[in-house]
Structure 1
Amino acid sequence: MSTRPATIAAAVDHELVIRKSRFIAHVAPVSSSEEADGVIARIKKQYWDARHNCSAQVTGIDADRARSSDDGEPSGTAGIPMLEVLRRRELTDVVAVVTRYFGGIKLGAGGLVRAYSSAVSEALDLASLVDRLMLAQVTIAVPHADAGRFDNLLRDWTDRNCAVLGEPQYREQAVFEVWSPADVIEALQGEIAASSGGSVVASVTGIERVVDVPR
């Protein structure tokens, strides 16, 4: 099964207080670096009175674009450590912004690295992950009278096999669309054949695409 870097399902906020400094982490899924920049701009506007709004982002289906900003913190103490957390988690299409309200006690370079890293890491611990899988399209055409039975069968099968069931098309027959990992298609074909006495065929179309599958 071909897997790409994962992403997160929805935005998450998390706050740490370390030696009177508040670190407010915001992590969000994005579809592009431009969207990530927009999230950063929105957070900076929301927390306009904070001393720092540090950020890191990774975008691209293969996580091939990355940027970070220390936003006034000592060089290398905020943005890069935040980016390393995203890299270690093997995530993409995600942006992290950590807002710091200074509490009057200096943390030192090592303390800042730990604080910014921990803020992002703990926020991601609260996030729901979405795997990105390279799946192959399989179509199954069945008589309308059997559509309900096969709908139930395919929903159960996709739930068990990291596959996705598309919207059925109702033509001369009911046509179901399954996006499946390549290594389990033969098992799907066997199950369809067994359930129909060999009268229904699961056809591989040769089309593949990356599909988001909740973990």
Structure 2
Amino acid sequence: MTAGRVMLAVPARLEREVRKSLFLAQAAPVASPAEALAFVRAVGIADATHNCWAYRIGQDYRSDDDGEPGGTAGRPILQVIDGQGFDRTVVVVTRWFGGIKLGAGGLVRAYGGTAAECLRLAPRLPIVPTTRLTLHCGFADLALLRARLGALDAAVEDESFDAAGAALVIAVPDDRVAEAVARIADLTRGQSVPRILDDEAP
């Protein structure tokens, strides 16, 4: 689901007033549902009337109306995240009730509109689809390998050591996998040949 999608470059926030109610949108880039929920807990304001939220992380998504009528807050926020092409993103919209009821349609417009404006103004980064590779290399090759991974736009996601060297899991842009496999094999004189990590494996 990452092709052509974007993520926030930095956290963002935006305030606006709708018929005496104050709405505050706070958005952040997140890598997992647990991280998204931690952000929701961290920025939710206890004395506000509602803290409504949604996140999208690949195929995982969730939304919450936090006491507003069903479907009038969390779902519109999620629709904005998807509609603007965001992924790995959480948005919390906090409302302080100003004494004027907005009605279901008004709530949808207020929550969705506040989230939309916040994301529209926020700096964004393209999400580059990656493939995870796993490999083992000797200690003698580790420093050189690490130094050259940047040239492949690759990032080390996990690293563990044993008596013979290091086991690495690296993320490589999809269009550079063949180049990365060949380069790593070359740098290690054929001692390390990466293989694609199967996420379904136990």
Taking structure 1 as the reference length, the TM-score comes to: 0.61
Partner of 1:137: 133
Partner of 1:81: 76
Q: Percent identity?
A: 28
Please tell me whether residue 55 in structure 1 is matched to residue 52 in structure 2.
yes
Partner of 2:67: 71
Aligned length: 196
How far is 1:83 from its partner?
2.5
Matching residue's letter, 2:111: Y
Does structure 1 retain, via aligned residues, the 8 Å contact 2:12–2:118?
yes
Matching residue's letter, 1:136: R
Does structure 2 retain, via aligned residues, the 8 Å contact 1:78–1:113?
yes
Does structure 2 retain, via aligned residues, the 8 Å contact 1:138–1:180?
no
C-alpha distance in structure 2 between counterparts of 1:34 and 1:150, whole Å: 30
Partner of 2:37: 36
Partner of 1:203: 193
1:124-156: CA deviation from partner (whole Å, max 9, x where unpaired):
343666848562324263572x54443322222
Change (3 A) 1:55 1:95: farther
Mean alpha-carbon deviation: is it higher for 122-131 or for 110-119?
Answer: 122-131
Change (3 A) 1:142 1:80: closer
C-alpha distance in structure 1 between counterparts of 2:32 and 2:170, whole Å: 24
Residue 180 (structure 2) aligned to one of 164, 184, 188: 188
* Structure 2 counterpart SS, 1:200: coil
Partner of 2:13: 13
C-alpha distance in structure 1 between counterparts of 2:178 and 2:12, whole Å: 39
1:16-45: CA deviation from partner (whole Å, max 9, x where unpaired):
234553211133548447973993597241
- Where structure 1 has 5 or more consecutive residues not aligned to the other structure, the ranges are 211-215
How far is 1:7 from its partner?
6.3
Change (3 A) 1:169 1:155: farther
Does structure 2 retain, via aligned residues, the 8 Å contact 1:85–1:121?
yes
Partner of 1:22: 22
Mean alpha-carbon deviation: is it higher for 148-157 or for 132-141?
Answer: 132-141
- Where structure 2 has 5 or more consecutive residues not aligned to the other structure, the ranges are none
Does structure 2 retain, via aligned residues, the 8 Å contact 1:55–1:79?
yes
C-alpha distance in structure 2 between counterparts of 1:177 and 1:76, whole Å: 41
Matching residue's letter, 2:170: V
C-alpha distance in structure 1 between counterparts of 2:135 and 2:181, whole Å: 10
C-alpha distance in structure 1 between counterparts of 2:20 and 2:41, whole Å: 24
How far is 1:208 from its partner?
3.0
Partner of 1:213: none
Please tell me whether residue 151 in structure 1 is matched to residue 146 in structure 2.
yes
C-alpha distance in structure 2 between counterparts of 1:34 and 1:195, whole Å: 36
Partner of 2:110: 115
How far is 1:121 from its partner?
2.2
Please tell me whether residue 97 in structure 1 is matched to residue 88 in structure 2.
no
C-alpha distance in structure 2 between counterparts of 1:139 and 1:172, whole Å: 13
Matching residue's letter, 1:150: L
How far is 1:186 from its partner?
1.8
Change (3 A) 1:121 1:192: same
* Structure 1 counterpart SS, 2:22: strand
